[in-house]
Each structure stands twice: as C-alpha cells, then as structure tokens.
Structure 1
C-alpha cells in the first residue's frame, strides 16, 4: 500500500490517469452526494434512488467484467475478471438488496426499475469500450468506478462523522474492498506494461486511454447528479 500526501494510490497507471483527469476526479470524489453521505445530510429518498439505479448499474458492470475475461490475454487477467464478476453478483449487490429490502423495495422491483438516462449513458459507454476496443480500453473505462469508490470510502471513513450511511462507507473503506483496489491497480499496471512497454506515456495509445478514463470519470459525476436529483 502506498500513500501519497494522504491520498490512497492504487498503482502507477491509475495515479497518472487520476492526475491527468484532476478536475473531473475532484468533482466525482467530492460531489455533493458524497459529502451528504459523509455528514448524513443526504436525503434518504436520494440515497434510495441511487441504490436502485446502482443495482441496475452493477448488473451491467458485471457484464463488462465478464467481457474483460474474453478480452484478456493471460490466465491471470481472466482469473481476476472472473473474481470481480463473482464479487459483484454475490457480494456488492447484496448490500443494495438488503438496504432496499429494509425500506420495502424487493429485488424484483430493483431488477425491473426503469433505467435512468445517466445510467444508460455510463454503462453503455463502458460496454462499448470493451466491445469496440481491447482489454486496456475496457480497464480505462472500468477503473474510475473501482478506484473512486475505494478512495471515497477511505476519505469518508477518516472523517469519522456520525452518519446513517456508515454501512455504505465501511463497505468501501473496508479491507476487502481496499484489497480489490490494490489488486486492480496491479492488474492495470501489468496489463499496461505487457501491451505498451516500460514507458507507456510514450505510446501513441496513452492519450486515448487517459481520455477514456477521464470520460468515464465525468460519467460518474453525472451518476451522482442523477442520484442527488432523486
């Protein structure tokens, strides 16, 4: 684990892309929705709307990680993608199901929920990155969600505020999710090294991959906007 001026860093490639997308990354990780989770001021209705849409999002996100298995070039890449699909379908989605069930929203209702336009824009962008591009294109579109939630979770947990959203925060600040972030960062670095070489910034592909990461980050901002609007 490497810490840089108080900010968790999950690998060299992520750190570089994060720096190049500094403005949208700040807007994403310090969005009003996120700050409302931290201090408890987020309206419950907005949180539940977000959970419903995030359930739909995670269904597509699972499909995208399944696509990563087919785009992989090594068994290690395939195994990681398969593990993420399993974790999404059998662990992370369970948080949404349990939370919504406590509010009277069952899983059948979640699965049948109309998909918000912001959700469609984001998930289809990620899937298109994988279908039209290669493993790196897909990872660049996937990483803002994976790493951003890890970074947000750590920051909010460190604030130690009394908030009704403590369970959400502890999920992403917890050791299990943080381990996923470290491993995802290592996977990304290894995939970049394998395909772009020792100095990936010199590759003609670097700018396009960095742009893809920044675009997915902006779509994360729109997703928070959607959640906050309720």
Structure 2
C-alpha cells in the first residue's frame, strides 16, 4: 500500500507530516489478520459478524461527531460537506451493513442488543469528546483518520488480484471506490486549510488527535479479530 502520498500536495503540508508520523501505526494496520483475511476471503464469519455489529455502533456515533464538526465549520460549504458526510454514515454505509447482516444471519434484534466492545466504546467516546470540546481544526484532525485509513486500506486491497467468490467483495468495493477516495481527499484538504490558520499549540493538538485516532483504528480492527468482550 502506498498511502503516504495519497491526497497530499506537498511534503510540507500538515496532513503529510501527520501521516508520516503514524507510519509505524500504519505498518501495524497493514499486518492485521482481519484485513489480510478479509482481502483473500478467508476471514471467519463470526469475526466479520462481530466487526459489522461493532461498526454499526461506531457509525451511529461517528455520524454525530460529523454533525458536531459541521456545526463548528467556518463557512456554509463546510457545514454542508460534513452534514452530508453524517447523512452518508447513517444511510449509505449502513445500507452496506444491511446486506451483510442478512448475508451473515444477523437479525435486527442482534443489532439492537449489541453493546460496544471496550475498543469501540473508547474510540467513539474519544471522538465525541474531541468533537464537542475542541476547536474545529482539532476535531477535523480526529475524524480524518477514519476517512484516510479506510481509503488507504481499500486501495491496498483493491490493488491485489480479486478473489473469485470473495463474500467480502462488497466491503472492498465500498472503500476502494473512487467516490470514497474523493471524499477522503476533500477532508484532507480541509484539514490542511484549517492547519494553516491554526496557532502552533493548536497544530500540536491537531497532530495529537490525529495520531490517537489512528491508534484507535488499529485497536478497533484488532478487537474485532479477537472477538473482544468486556472482561468483567
């Protein structure tokens, strides 16, 4: 995968520097068994069921984070951009989930009864707290890794030869889609614009939020692979 230059204009941009700082995290993400076996179609169904249920919970909260970011946006164009992203998180991606829920025998009652894993709970609460309490620029930096890392992962999987009969191909197609890539690029560009207007201390907070969210991305996928539950 070659995500280090994707969506960045120059090596001097804030996002390019932030992406460079999470190279060790990205190396670990690329080695995750869940992604490797999703790519070749050998992921155990129970792991994917766990992942999809947790992702449905995550998206419910992520949509609210996007709405908070929209409310803090400095102009109407950015307000509409993130309100549109919030709507997509609820409709488009949950539409993808609906197909998988049926395919993998997950009922609406299962979805309703599902509770967040420790990793999902921690990640969504970090995003909500950052979006609510922080500046627009810092909030943008916290939500960006979800866009960028999924794009990076989707592009990497899509670049491999397709496995005939891969039951996870719809997931690969969603995150390897050019429209998803365009959306990720737009959020990257908006983050760079915000960074240029930010003070040095605020840019430090932006970098910290970006790195923490990237760590949570790894934790989220790893926890699904381990079928993580609350220990007590």
Q: Distance in 2 between matches of 1:19 and 1:125?
A: 22
Alignment correspondent of 1:102:
103
2:179 pairs with 1:176:
yes
The structure whose RCO (Cα within 8 Å, separation 6+) is larger is: 1
> 1:229 matched to which residue of 2?
226
| Runs of 5+ consecutive residues of structure 1 not aligned to the other structure | 197-202
Q: How far, CA to CA, are the matches of 1:107 and 1:62 in structure 2? A: 20
Aligned partner of 1:189 in structure 2 is 192
Residue of structure 1 in register with 2:211 after alignment:
214
Q: Determine if contact 2:5/2:16 at 8 Å carries over to the other structure.
A: no
SS of residue matched to 1:160: coil
Q: Which has the higher helix share?
A: 1
Q: Kindly indicate whether the alpha-carbon contact (under 8 Å) linking 1:137 and 1:209 is maintained by their aligned counterparts in 2.
A: yes
What is aligned with 2:84?
Answer: 83
Q: Tell me, what secondary structure is at the counterpart of 2:201?
A: coil
Distance verdict in 2 for CA 1:84–1:39, change over 3 Å: same
Distance in 1 between residues matched to 2:224 and 2:127, nearest whole Å:
19
The correspondence of residues 5-154 of structure 1 with structure 2, limited to 5 A, is: 7=4, 9-11=6-8, 12-154=13-155
Partner of 1:155: 156
CA–CA separation in structure 2 for the residues paired with 1:32 and 1:101: 24
Q: 2 CA distance for matches of 1:10 and 1:62?
A: 23
Cα shift readout 1:94-119 (whole Å, capped 9, x = no counterpart): 11122112222233431331111110
Correspondence for 2:230: none
Distance in 1 of aligned mates of 2:91 and 2:120: 21
Partners of 2:113 and 2:72 lie apart in 1 by 29
CA distance in structure 2 between the partners assigned to 1:177 and 1:149 by the alignment? 9
Residue from 197, 201, 205 that aligns with 1:204: 201
Name which of structure 1's ranges 63-72 and 106-115 shifts more when overlaid on structure 2.
106-115
When the two structures are aligned, how many residues end up with a matched partner? 221
CA distance in 1 between counterparts of 2:65 and 2:112 reads 17
Residue 227 (structure 1) shift: 0.8
Cα shift at 1:192: 1.9
TM-fit CA distance, 1:33: 1.2
Give the 3 Å change call, closer, same or farther, for CA 7–55 of structure 1 in structure 2.
Answer: same
For normalisation by structure 2, the TM-score amounts to 0.88
**Which secondary structure does the structure 1 equivalent of 2:223 belong to?**
helix
Please say if 1:167 is aligned against 2:170. Answer: yes
1:204 aligned counterpart, secondary structure: helix
- Where structure 2 has 5 or more consecutive residues not aligned to the other structure, the ranges are 228-232
Change (3 A) 1:189 1:97: same
RMSD, matched Cα: 1.8
| Deviant stretches of 4+, over 6 Å | none
**Alpha carbons of structure 1 residues 189 and 111: separation in structure 2 relative to 1, 3 Å:** farther
